[in-house]
């Protein structure tokens, strides 16, 4: 196939969310709450265990009462917030006012970091004349994050599940994204960290490249194989 355009997942693919302990510290600061280092270590571990950080580790177990909501969390903003706040409550923090603050913090550009090769690869694709899009299962607008790190101008379109009311791996969202690029699916490469979700693009004829969902400092060049595939 001749690749004429690329779609990139957001979290774990071109950007990585901050570590859980830093997320918790930032939320505590936002709420004006003082906590000891020991408390932050302990409760960050609890938040990690329940999978409370969007873009972080997945829950080891989803409570039955939240199972349906969790499975549909990326369809709209209300479900996304309710799912993650509900999951976070399982950490049983001593600061009940913090759950909503934690959710607000994760949407801040400061909570995210681009992978070291994100700008390089997106820029190279644009220079080669390829169409570039971001296709994300998400419950909030990631465009301010792209702007904050100066990569918004390297992206032609953003297709966000909560705006389309459909989430990956549903074929409909991949068709929407290809249409936004103005390309047939067989001319598009989907790049993402999840074979289950991002790999769903193959159902409509897109090619798929999986990258490792690792901290940014442990994946310096995970996107560069894209450039080899597009020629």
pLDDT tens sequence for the chain (231 residues): 689 999 999 999 999 999 999 999 999 999 999 999 999 999 999 999 999 999 999 999 999 999 999 999 999 999 999 999 999 999 999 999 999 999 999 999 999 999 999 999 999 999 999 999 999 999 999 999 999 999 999 999 999 999 999 999 999 999 999 999 999 999 999 999 999 999 999 999 999 999 999 999 999 999 999 999 997
pLDDT at 72: 97
Question: What are the residues whose beta carbons fall under 8 Å from the beta carbon of 67, sequence distance 6 or more?
Answer: none
Q: Is the dihedral of CA 190, 154, 217, 220 positive or negative?
A: positive
pLDDT at 128: 96
12: left (phi > 0), else alpha (psi -120 to 50), else beta?
Answer: left
pLDDT at 186: 97
3-state secondary structure of 210: strand
Residue of 34, 65, 53 whose CA lies nearest to 91: 53
**Domains of the chain: which residue ranges?**
5-16+112-230, 18-110
Q: Is the dihedral of CA 166, 170, 172, 173 positive or negative?
A: positive
How many CB atoms are located within 10 Å of the residue 212 CB?
A: 10
193 contacts 13 by C-beta, under 8 angstroms: yes
Residue of 71, 72, 56 whose CA lies nearest to 15: 56
pLDDT at 93: 98
pLDDT at 211: 98
Residue of 113, 111, 112, 118 whose CA lies nearest to 222: 118
Question: How is domain 5-16+112-230 classified at the CATH fold level?
Answer: Rossmann fold (3.40.50)
> Beta strand pairing status for 188-192 and 131-136?
unpaired
CA distance 4 to 129: 8
211 contacts 222 by C-beta, under 8 angstroms: yes
Question: What are the residues whose beta carbons fall under 8 Å from the beta carbon of 59, sequence distance 6 or more?
Answer: 50, 51, 52, 70, 87
3-state secondary structure of 169: coil
């Amino acid at each position: 196939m001749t690749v004429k355009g690329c779609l990139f997942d957001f979290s774990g693919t071109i950007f990585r969310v901050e570590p859980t302990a830093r997320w918790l510290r930032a939320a505590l600061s936002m709420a004006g709450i003082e906590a000891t280092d020991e408390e932050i270590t302990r409760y960050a571990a609890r938040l990690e265990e329940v999978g409370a950080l969007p873009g972080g580790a997945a829950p080891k177990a989803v409570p039955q009462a939240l199972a349906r909501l969790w499975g549909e969390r990326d369809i709209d903003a209300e479900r996304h917030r309710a799912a993650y706040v509900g999951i976070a409550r399982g950490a049983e923090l001593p600061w009940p006012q913090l759950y909503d603050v934690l959710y607000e913090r994760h949407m801040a550009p400061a909570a995210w970091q681009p992978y070291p090769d994100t700008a390089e690869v997106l820029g190279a694709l644009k220079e080669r004349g390829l169409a570039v899009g971001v296709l994300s299962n998400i419950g909030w607008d990631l465009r301010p994050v792209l702007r904050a790190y100066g990569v918004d101008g390297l992206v032609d379109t953003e297709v966000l599940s909560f705006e389309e009311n459909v989430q990956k791996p549903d074929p409909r969202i991949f068709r929407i994204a290809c249409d936004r690029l103005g390309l047939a699916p067989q001319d598009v490469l989907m790049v993402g960290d999840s074979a289950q979700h991002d790999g769903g693009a193959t159902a409509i004829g897109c090619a798929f490249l999986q990258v490792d969902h690792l901290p940014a400092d442990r994946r310096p060049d995970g996107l560069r194989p894209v450039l080899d595939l597009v020629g």
